[in-house]
């Protein structure tokens, strides 16, 4: 089978991509910033599904440093570039997120081109598609791009500019290297290990009673296992070269809808989840003193909907029901001692 590099193998999406590749019979090499995490990653993966340990190699490479990338991509047929630089604090300015994200993508693409990799699948985000636009009644598609000239958060700006740099590099300097991009919406689903992925913190806080009432907005969600499946399809399908693919299960959900599903599926174990939605005016007022609500100011009262029709049509991809994903997310959090 083919050899595939997955960047960021200990991450939520990255670990599921590694497991899906191993399950499909591929030989996998994955990068981590801290090699001390390699034994834990192997343990999580073996606990989820048996595989030949010799088909998995864990190597050290950091997107913010050049060392290790030539060795990481050597002899690989494909690369799933899932990792993205992260900050443990609020950035002082947008460049603190934009520059590392853009340079990290270009570092991986250059090494992939020089090593003769056939195709790179870039994990982008809905944040590179649907942010900074005026309200609209139609779902966002892969033809849309986030408006980086608007007042948008640093993370969405970084994902957008990094992806644009990737497409420009492949067009101008790729030398035959193919690129596809996957754009998940909010990613939920079961944990492979005891980490605390940011995308699951909403469900965790609902279970813990940390969300007394829901801010009034809606967005799309998708299962991490389906995101991994879309990466594998985008990796090998001839129709995926040069294309972007949104990943969403159905349509957008209001936060109060997620809370309702938790109550319906988990009963008393979700007793602390909220039951009501805040009015827009009150949420805006609370945002003057609550930084988390302030970040949501452009989304209040809106439903940021999207469609995965392109992935379904070209790649045969299908997402599982999001109600099942929400319930399994909560069950997994509780099983790992989170959300109580």
Each of the 340 residues of the chain gets a pLDDT tens digit; together they read 799 999 999 999 999 999 999 999 999 999 999 999 999 999 999 999 999 999 999 999 999 899 999 999 999 999 999 998 765 445 555 777 888 899 999 999 999 999 999 999 999 999 999 999 998 889 999 999 999 998 888 889 999 999 999 999 999 999 999 999 999 999 999 999 888 899 999 999 999 999 999 999 999 999 999 999 999 999 999 999 999 999 999 999 999 999 999 999 999 999 999 999 998 888 888 888 888 888 777 788 889 999 999 999 999 999 999 999 999 999 999 999 997 8
CA distance 155 to 207: 26
For residue 214, give the 3-state DSSP assignment. Answer: strand
Q: Quote the CA–CA distance of 203 and 109 in Å, as a whole number.
A: 35
Do residues 249 and 320 touch, judged by C-beta distance below 8 A? yes
- Chain centroid offset of residue 297 CA: 22
Per-residue pLDDT, 300: 83
The distance in angstroms from the start CA to the end CA of the chain is: 43
Task: Please give the C-alpha separations between residue 222 and each of 36, 40, 114, 232, 298, in angstroms, as whole numbers.
Answer: 30, 26, 34, 16, 22
Alpha helix (H) residue ranges in the chain? 12-23, 38-48, 69-73, 95-115, 154-173, 201-208, 224-236, 255-266, 280-287, 291-295, 309-315, 322-335
CB-CB contact of 254 with 215 (8 Å) = no
- Predicted pLDDT of residue 5: 98
Residue by residue, DSSP assigns 10-49 as TSHHHHHHHHHHHHTT-EEEEEES-GGGHHHHHHHHHHHS
What local confidence, expressed as pLDDT, does residue 340 receive?
A: 82
Q: What's residue 41's pLDDT?
A: 95
Give the pLDDT score at 231.
98
DSSP string for residues in 133-158? PPP-SSPB-TT----TTSS--HHHHH
Between CA 279 and CA 300 the distance in angstroms is: 9
Residue-range domains of the chain with CATH: 3-189+220-248 (3.40.50.720)
pLDDT value of residue 91: 55
Q: Can 159 be counted among the known catalytic residues? A: yes
Q: Which of 49, 159, 272, 310 is catalytic?
A: 159
Per-residue confidence (pLDDT) for residue 93, from 0 to 100? 56
What per-residue confidence (pLDDT) applies to 305? 96
Which one, of 201, 174, 162, lies nearest residue 12 by Cα? 201
> SS3 for 267?
helix
Positive or negative, the CA dihedral 256, 260, 261, 267 is positive
| Ramachandran sector of residue 247 (left: φ over 0; alpha: ψ -120 to 50; beta: rest) | beta
């Amino acid at each position: 089978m083919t050899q595939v590099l997955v960047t960021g193998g200990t991450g939520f999406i990255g670990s599921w991509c590694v497991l899906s590749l191993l399950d499909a019979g591929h030989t996998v090499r994955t990068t981590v910033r801290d090699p001390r995490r390699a034994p834990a990653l192997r343990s999580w993966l073996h606990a989820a599904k048996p595989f030949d340990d010799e088909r998995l190699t864990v190597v050290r490479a950091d997107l913010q440093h050049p060392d290790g990338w030539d060795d990481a991509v050597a002899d690989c047929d494909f690369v799933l570039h899932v990792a993205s630089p992260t900050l443990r604090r609020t950035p002082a300015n947008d460049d603190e997120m934009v520059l590392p994200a853009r340079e990290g993508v270009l570092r991986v693409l250059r090494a992939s081109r020089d090593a003769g990799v056939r195709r790179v699948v870039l994990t982008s985000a809905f944040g590179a598609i649907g942010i900074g636009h005026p309200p609209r009644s139609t779902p966002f598609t892969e033809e849309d791009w986030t408006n980086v000239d608007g007042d948008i958060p640093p993370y969405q700006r970084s994902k957008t500019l990094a992806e644009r740099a990737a497409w420009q590099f492949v067009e101008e300097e790729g030398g035959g290297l193919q690129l596809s991009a996957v754009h998940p919406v909010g990613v939920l689903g079961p944990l492979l290990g005891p980490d605390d992925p940011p995308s699951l913190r909403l469900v965790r806080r609902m279970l813990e009673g940390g969300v007394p009432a829901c801010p009034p907005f809606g967005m799309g969600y998708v299962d991490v296992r389906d995101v991994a499946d879309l990466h594998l399809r985008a990796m090998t399908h001839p129709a995926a070269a040069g294309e972007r693919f949104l990943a969403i299960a159905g349509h957008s959900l209001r936060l109060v809808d997620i809370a309702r599903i938790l109550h319906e599926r988990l009963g008393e174990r979700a007793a602390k989840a909220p039951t009501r939605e805040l009015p827009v005016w009150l949420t805006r007022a609370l945002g003057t003193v609550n930084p988390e609500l302030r970040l949501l100011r452009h989304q209040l009262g809106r439903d940021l909907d999207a469609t995965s029709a392109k992935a379904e049509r070209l790649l045969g991809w299908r997402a599982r029901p999001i109600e099942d994903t929400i319930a399994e997310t909560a069950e997994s959090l509780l099983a790992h001692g989170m959300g109580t």
